Amino acid sequence: MPEAGADVAHWILDGGAITAIILAIEAIGFLCALDSVMRARTPQGSIAWALALVFLPIVSVPLYMAFGQRRFDGKVLAHRRGRHALDRRVGEVTRATAALHSLDPALVSLAPLYRVPPTRGNDCELLIDGKATFDAIERAIDAAERCIAFQFYIIRDDRLGRRMAAALARARARGVRVMVLYDAIGSMHLAEGWCDRLRADGVEVRAFRTSRTALPININFRNHRKVVIVDGGVAFLGGLNVGDEYMGQSPAFGSWRDTHVRIAGPAALAVQLSFAEDWRWATGEELTSVDWAVPPERGDDHVAILPTGPADELESCSLMYLHLISRAQRRLWVASPYFVPDQATFAALQLAALRGVDVRVIMPLKPDNVLVRMSALTFIPEALAAGIKAYSHTVGFMHQKVMLSDDLACVGTANLDNRSLRINFEISALAHGGTLSKQVEAMFHSDFEGCHGIGARAWSGRSWIYRGACRAARLMAPIQ
């Protein structure tokens, strides 16, 4: 035994153990590189990951485990295990709303992507900026009788966060069931005291985590949805999170331009189904006790709800945007704070402009992410060459995610970047030709008046060093 111990010691001192570890890391890196080639989101991302994993595995392997996965397989498997319950609920809602299903061709053309078909009989109200949005949400919470689902990517324990918490506590005191769901990464700075106070009042508060282990895996996936559903009949969704900056009180930005939508009617059930799926992942509970009765018709809007995410069989968000762009014949107006489209999406925008469509894109002048702004600038020369009109929102920060394709309006949580198109859980509302479309059109006209056009000098007037840095930032987009 002493001789055996001495042999092991000599082996270690001779570097045998270190060599073995290095070879093991190299092998793992090579296997991860093969996985990236088979499953990466884009060819550029596949190449970038594969090279890094082969030539620098000691750094790249942990990063790949955290950020390199294409699909959120955990939620897929969890859904399969409970498929009978969730699919039965989807089927019940689909059958119950059958008499209200919309046959609008602009909405039905995306039918394979919907969980629930589009419905007519919805009353929609566009909510512009924080005050209008959270005033309307608070009124709905105060009118709740049975159930409230409150889900946001970011919740802060600040003035707005405490205001919303107080409204939710009031509802719970009336006997309303209140469920709060926040993203664990987006709300990583949420004070535990905010959650504890609500739990003490009887509110159910849970975090959406993409990993069910203590290891930091799958942390690249985020639940970016921002929805509120009241009594199964009124739903809110859009770009605003719960924080004072969304009320225009950011020291860095001041004014905050954002958009939400209120939907009253049968389409609210489709939003509730999206929440039910997220709640099931976070808690394991099937939401059978909440109100699933079909809400009465309340307006004239035909509305489709499209939740998208990395657990989808297809890249639903990307397909939705490609459809909205390719169908446009007269106009295609886009507002996105993070304009870093992939090659297919940008080519579709160029083709739309080349065939005579009025293509306009609004992005913020002052970014909250410098790399995103630098990446966006690289698209300007090719956009202008194709006839796309680019605008800068000059006052504060613009965070809305809105598109108008002819008379088909889309309001939701998804940006035109790789993260929203492929990595985040998102949700969008689409409405055609009714009240919401007219409201979105009027809003865009108002927004254009407050914007400055982006000309060729925005790119050509920069130093070659800055333009080189912008190109480097764009190369990083596929793996962001």
Nearest to 413 by CA among 313, 314, 327, 306: 306
Active-site residue, from 104, 129, 183, 231: 231
- Asked whether the beta carbons of 377 and 434 are under 8 A apart, the reply is no
> Per-residue b/e over 440-479, b at no fewer than 16 CB within 10 Å?
beebbeebbeebeebeeebbeeeeeeebeebeebbebbbb
Active site residue 389: no
Active-site residue, from 75, 123, 129, 224: 224
User: What's the rounded Cα separation, in Å, for the pair 437 and 261?
Assistant: 11
**274: amino acid identity, one letter:** S
Active-site residue, from 129, 406, 417, 447: 406
User: What's the rounded Cα separation, in Å, for the pair 352 and 137?
Assistant: 37
Active-site residue, from 101, 104, 129, 226: 226
- Asked whether the beta carbons of 313 and 346 are under 8 A apart, the reply is no
Active site residue 432: no
Active site residue 157: no
Active site residue 231: yes
SS (H, E, C) 449-471: HCEEECCCHHHHCCCHHHHHHHH
Tokens of 378: 């690289």
User: How wide is the angle at C-alpha 148 spanned by C-alphas 143 and 320, nearest 5°?
Assistant: 115
User: What's the rounded Cα separation, in Å, for the pair 150 and 235?
Assistant: 10
Active-site residue, from 301, 401, 432, 447: 401
- Asked whether the beta carbons of 114 and 269 are under 8 A apart, the reply is no
- Asked whether the beta carbons of 266 and 298 are under 8 A apart, the reply is no
For the annotated catalytic residues, the residue numbers are 224, 226, 231, 399, 401, 406
